[in-house]
Amino acid sequence: MANKKLITVFGATGNQGGSVVQTFLHDAKLKNEWSVRGVTRDVSKDSSKKLAAQGVDVVSADLDDKASIVKALKGSYAVFAVTNYWEKMDDKLEIQQGKNLADAAKEADVKLLIWSSLYNVNKLSKGALPHVYHFDSKATVEEYIRELGIPAAFFMPGFYMSNLPGANFRKSPGGDGNTWTLGLPFPGKTQIPMYHPADTGKYVKAMVLNRDAVLGKRFLAATAYMTADEIVAGFQELFPAAASSAGYFEVPKDAFFAALKGAGMPDFGAEELYENMRLMSDFGYYGGDSLDWTHGFVEDPLTTWKEYAQTAPAFAELK
């Protein structure tokens, strides 16, 4: 046990971090070589207790308090670090939290910091899309990590498959009551990098097993690029009873804004999400970069859209 390397995972009870924890606990190549520390704000909540029962060293840290992060990182060989912009929707706060993580990783002499990052959309779009704060904030932290010279690699999650069923791919009102529509504010030929957060551990496994090759690199986390039309086609193949009535609809900007505001999203958040969508159609989510380099390192099968759709609660009635 003493000879095991330690990976410390932030957001251990969340989507990305939770997947990393489970992979390192159960993967045949990792479980005997690595021990897992999970960082959470509240060690007393049920999700934290479940991790502790699985053998995770669950510790508390506050991303606003660098000293608590340094303490949580003590003895860590690798760190998976993620922040949650949507909790407070404050990009300056997220940047400061990311810098706190980076400073702490340097102080703790971490050998591989894996930062959950995203592209700088303002730069990528040459100022055309200046409001995608949850991308640009993470990119700002990535720049800071590079400046510090920490041994690091950058995990770049794609478009969450879970964003589609229910919210954007749903049964339309009216008609025969069985018309399924995927609606997004861009053309149906737009390339979407499809990512399932449950696969995060598979990517992080590849990154730690190939540390020297990935240092300083961006690891694009998506199973495949798919167009909205292809997503609908996959749905039709999976659920033939609903196939004839399924289709894609390019949502007008005003309707997209109205739906978000109706769900309680502030104006700046609606603009942010709209520009996020336009990023995909106008510049490419990853700026058009290929997934091939990342896929060359990942040895575990990645979740396809059809595999995910079979498990989506919003589609349960179609089974």
Nearest-5° Cα angle at 154, 50 to 210: 85
To which residue do tokens 């009551």 refer? Answer: 177
pLDDT tens column, 137-165: 999 999 999 999 999 999 999 999 999 99
* Domain boundaries, given as residue ranges, for the chain: 5-158+196-222+287-302
Residue 44 has pLDDT above 70, yes or no: yes
Query: Each residue of 187-235: pLDDT tens digit?
Result: 999 999 999 999 999 999 999 999 999 999 999 999 999 999 999 999 9
Closest CA relative to residue 116, chosen from 138, 99, 149? 138
- Please tell me the distance from the alpha carbon of residue 194 to that of residue 177, in angstroms, as a whole number: 28
The length of the chain, given as a count of residues: 319
Query: For position 223, what pLDDT does the model report?
Result: 98
Three-state SS for 105-136 is HHHCCCCEEEEECCCCHHHHCCCCCCCCHHHH
- Amino acid occupying residue 180: W
What pTM does this model have? 0.96
Q: Which CATH architecture has domain 5-158+196-222+287-302?
A: 3-Layer(aba) Sandwich (3.40)
- Quote the pLDDT of residue 199: 98
State the pairing for strand pair 57-60/78-81: unpaired
Query: Is the model's pLDDT at 66 over the cut of 70?
Result: yes
Nearest Cα residue to 111 out of 257, 5, 187: 5
Confidence category of residue 175, pLDDT binned at 50, 70, 90: low
Q: What is the pLDDT of residues 71-80, one digit of tens each?
A: 999 999 999 9
Decide: 198 and 214 in contact? Cβ < 8 Å: no
d(CA 188, CA 296): 29
